[in-house]
Amino acid sequence: MQKFKVTFLPDHLTITAEKDSSILTAAISAGIYLNSNCAGDGTCGGCKVIVNQGQVKSQPNGIITAQEKKNNLYLACLTAIQSDLEILIPDSSRMDKDIQTDNLGGDATIEPGDTLGKNFGLCFDIGTTTISGQLVNLNSKKILGTKTAYNRQAAFGSDVITRIVYAAKTGGLEKLHNALSGTMNQIIRELVSEHKVDLNAVNCIVCSGNTTMMHLLLSLDPAHIRRQPYVPPANFPSVLRAAEAGIQISPQGLLSCVPGVSGYLGGDAIAGVLSSGIYQKEETCILIDIGTNGEIVLGNRDFLVACAGSAGPAFEGSGVTSGMRASSGAIQKVSINKNDFSVKYSTIQDKIPRGICGSGYIDLLSEMLTSGIIDKSGKIKVTGKRIRSSDNGREFVVCFKEEIRAQADIVINEADIENLKRSKGAIYSACAILVKHLALEFSAISKIFIAGGFGTYLDIEKAIRIGLLPDLERSKFIFIGNSSLAGSREILLSSQAQAMAEALALKITYFELSMDSDYMEEYSQALFFPHTDLTKFPTVKF
Which residue of 248, 335, 392, 525 would you call a contact of another protein, by CB under 8 A? Answer: 525
Count the neighbouring beta carbons within 10 Å of the beta carbon of residue 333.
19
Q: Minimum Å distance from CB 293 to another protein?
A: 17
Print the binding letters for residues 290-319 with another protein: x by CB under 8 A, - otherwise: ------------xx-x--------------
Binding flag, residue 60, another protein (CB under 8 A) = no
How many Cα neighbours within 13 Å face the side chain of 450?
23
- Does 283 help bind another protein (rule: CB under 8 A)? no
**Selected binder of another protein within 2, 441, 517, 538 (CB under 8 A):** 517
Q: How far is CA 526 from CA 287, 420, 444, 540, in A?
A: 19, 12, 20, 15
CB of 521 to another protein, least distance (A): 8
The strand pairing partners of 150, in sequence order, are 130
> Which 454-513 positions form the footprint of another protein (CB under 8 A)?
506-510
Contact 395, 408 (CB under 8 A): no
Q: What is the dihedral of CA 527, 533, 535, 536, to 10 degrees?
A: -50
Beta bridge partner(s), residue 149: 131
| Residues numbered 192-231 forming contacts with another protein, rule: CB under 8 A | 226-227
Residues in binding contact with another protein, number by CB under 8 A: 28
Minimum Å gap between C-beta 315 and another protein is 22
The site map against another protein for 343-382 (x = CB under 8 A) is --------------------------------xxx-----
What's the CA gap between 383 and 385, in Å, rounded? 7
The answer to whether 309 and 430 are in contact (CB under 8 A) is yes
Q: Least distance (Å) from another protein to the CB of residue 528?
A: 5
Partners of 412 in beta bridges? 396
Q: Is 145 helix (H, G, I), strand (E, B) or coil?
A: strand
* Contact between 89 and 11 (Cβ < 8 Å): yes
Provide the minimum distance between the beta carbon of 360 and another protein in the complex, in angstroms, as a whole number.
26
Pick the closer one to another protein by CB: 335 or 509: 509
If one asks whether residue 535 binds another protein (CB under 8 A), the answer comes out as: yes
Q: Name which position in 5, 19, 224, 437 contacts another protein (CB under 8 A).
A: 437
Instruction: Give the containing element (helix H, strand E) for 25.
Output: helix 23-29
Distance CA 278, CA 448 (A): 10
Q: Are strands 393-399 and 387-390 parallel, antiparallel or unpaired?
A: antiparallel
| Residue ranges binding another protein (CB under 8 A) | 226-227, 302-303, 305, 375-377, 437-440, 506-510, 514, 517, 521, 524-525, 527-528, 532-535
